[in-house]
């Protein structure tokens, strides 16, 4: 087995932390940042009417604020990894969360549409790099056979945000003004700074890292294939997630009041899948990716088939995000392994590819609806994307057989 820098860090660390409490608090601190990021990523979707009125634009135009955030993620992940790989990782996490808090405070203070777009773009810049660096730090604190669970625990903050953070921030925004939602997220960012400084141990950066070496990650076939699998395969979930409410109301005949129930099912599925992903990944990262991708493809087809039943799609919705979360965590771990010396770049790029998946899935789902194929069509499109992701994984597995495998 090839030894990567993160493996060396894990092997150099003690077999167990000084106390289980210290490790728990450190992971909780890292997960709090994920909770803050998950809240701000999705809360804008629930506040589009308020945002539109606040900056005096149409609702479709206000939706560009969501795209601006996603663009910030795609740009920020490689840029931060490119520029900051040598920095001490705890200090880098603190800097990223400070920038995150400032971006969300700027969103709350925005007085114009253009100002809001710039602020949302700035808010997205730390997103991918934070998850990448936090995953590296979490993995370095535990034995090698628990890396999957450590990384999943960090990602669990993002999942819990969809169950608690997003509904709470949306309620605040609807009742106290949309700006309060972003102020809440900014405070969560500052809370993360305090927790990271208090509980996360000092973790040196890679002092041998250079911008040229970090860029080598993007030239590694396994890294490119893993990113492509995420950008295509995970797009299937967003093809359905984006249009789930009109599907269950227009096709399933349910009232609009059930929307929170289905969105809650998405969030709970994400939590369950992230928890399961850690266990599966500690067994086999590659097999976990196949399980997540294949399971998601089957369930997306089931959603399309069961759409007329209304409530019959509820457990399917739960399963779609559960299997999708297994795929996401496994992709994160795979990138950490196959990036070799370019650890920061590899770990950070996962969320960039996932935001591409978000845009791709929503766009393709909208295309088939606009073409007159109905609200059941996005489920079929999503299944096709899942199959596409699986084909990329097959190519990666075949290539890995011809190389010395990084992780079995």
The closest of 125, 74, 49, 78 to 358, measured between CA atoms, is 74
Crossing angle of the two packed helices 5-12 and 113-140, in degrees rounded to 10: 50
Q: What is the pLDDT of residues 88-115, one digit of tens each?
A: 889 999 999 999 999 999 999 999 999 9
Question: Is the per-residue pLDDT at 8 higher than 70?
Answer: no
Q: What is the pLDDT of residues 335-362, one digit of tens each?
A: 878 876 666 777 778 888 888 888 888 8
Domain with CATH 1.20.1250.20 in the chain: 1-205, 210-408
Which residue stretches of 284-376 are H helix?
A: 285-306, 314-338, 343-368
The closest of 343, 225, 245 to 289, measured between CA atoms, is 225
How large a percentage of the chain has pLDDT more than 70?
89
Q: Is 187 exposed, middle or buried (0-12, 13-18, 19+ CB in 10 A)?
A: middle
Tell me if 93 sits within 8 A of 134, measured CB to CB: yes
Q: What is the CATH number of domain 210-408?
A: 1.20.1250.20
Q: What is the pLDDT of residues 196-235, one digit of tens each?
A: 999 998 877 666 666 566 666 677 888 899 999 999 999 9
The closest of 89, 73, 87 to 123, measured between CA atoms, is 73
The closest of 196, 245, 246, 213 to 26, measured between CA atoms, is 196
Dump strand ranges (E) for 154-302: none
- Distance between CA atoms of 13 and 16, rounded to whole angstroms? 8
Global pTM? Answer: 0.77
Q: What is the CATH number of domain 1-205?
A: 1.20.1250.20
Of 135-149, 259-273, 275-289, 340-354, give the lowest mean pLDDT range.
340-354
The closest of 188, 176, 169 to 44, measured between CA atoms, is 169
pLDDT, mean of residues 276-282? 88
Tell me if 42 sits within 8 A of 166, measured CB to CB: yes
Question: Is the per-residue pLDDT at 179 higher than 90?
Answer: yes
Helix H or strand E encompassing 208: none
């Amino acid at each position: 087995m090839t030894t990567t820098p993160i493996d060396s860090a894990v092997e150099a660390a003690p077999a167990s932390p000084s106390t289980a409490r210290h490790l728990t608090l450190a992971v909780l601190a890292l997960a709090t940042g994920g909770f803050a990021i998950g809240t701000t990523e999705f809360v804008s979707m629930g506040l589009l009417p308020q945002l539109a009125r606040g900056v005096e634009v149409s609702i479709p135009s206000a939706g560009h604020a969501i795209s601006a955030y996603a663009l910030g993620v795609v740009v920020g992940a490689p840029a931060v990894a490119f520029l900051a790989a040598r920095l001490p990782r705890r200090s880098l996490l603190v800097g990223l969360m400070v920038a995150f808090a400032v971006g969300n405070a700027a969103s709350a203070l925005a007085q114009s549409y253009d100002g809001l777009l710039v602020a949302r773009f700035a808010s997205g810049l730390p997103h991918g790099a934070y998850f990448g660096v936090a995953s590296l730090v979490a993995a370095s604190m535990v034995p090698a056979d628990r890396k999957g669970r450590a990384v999943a625990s960090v990602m669990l903050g993002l999942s819990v945000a969809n169950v608690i953070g997003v509904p709470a921030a949306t309620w605040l925004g609807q009742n106290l003004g949309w700006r309060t939602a972003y102020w809440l997220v900014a405070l969560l960012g500052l809370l993360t700074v305090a927790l990271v400084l208090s509980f996360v141990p000092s973790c040196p950066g890679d002092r041998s890292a250079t911008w040229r070496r970090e860029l080598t990650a993007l030239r590694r076939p396994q890294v490119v294939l893993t990113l492509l699998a995420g950008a295509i395969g995970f797009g299937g979930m967003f093809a359905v997630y984006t249009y789930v409410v009109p599907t269950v109301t227009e096709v399933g005949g349910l009232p609009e009041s059930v929307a929170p129930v289905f969105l809650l099912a998405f969030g709970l599925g994400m939590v369950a899948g992230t928890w399961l992903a850690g266990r599966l990944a500690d067994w086999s990262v590659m097999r976990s990716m196949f399980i997540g991708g294949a399971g998601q493809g089957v369930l997306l087809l089931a959603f399309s088939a069961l759409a007329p039943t209304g409530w019959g799609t509820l457990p399917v919705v739960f399963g779609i995000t559960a299997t999708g979360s297994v795929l996401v965590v496994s992709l994160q771990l795979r990138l950490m392994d196959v990036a070799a010396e370019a650890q920061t770049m590899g770990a950070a790029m996962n969320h960039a590819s996932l935001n591409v998946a978000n845009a791709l899935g929503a766009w393709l789902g909208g295309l088939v609806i606009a073409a007159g194929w109905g609200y059941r069509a996005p489920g079929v499109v999503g299944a096709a994307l899942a199959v596409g992701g699986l084909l990329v994984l097959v190519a990666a597995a075949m290539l890995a057989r011809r190389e010395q495998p990084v992780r079995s």
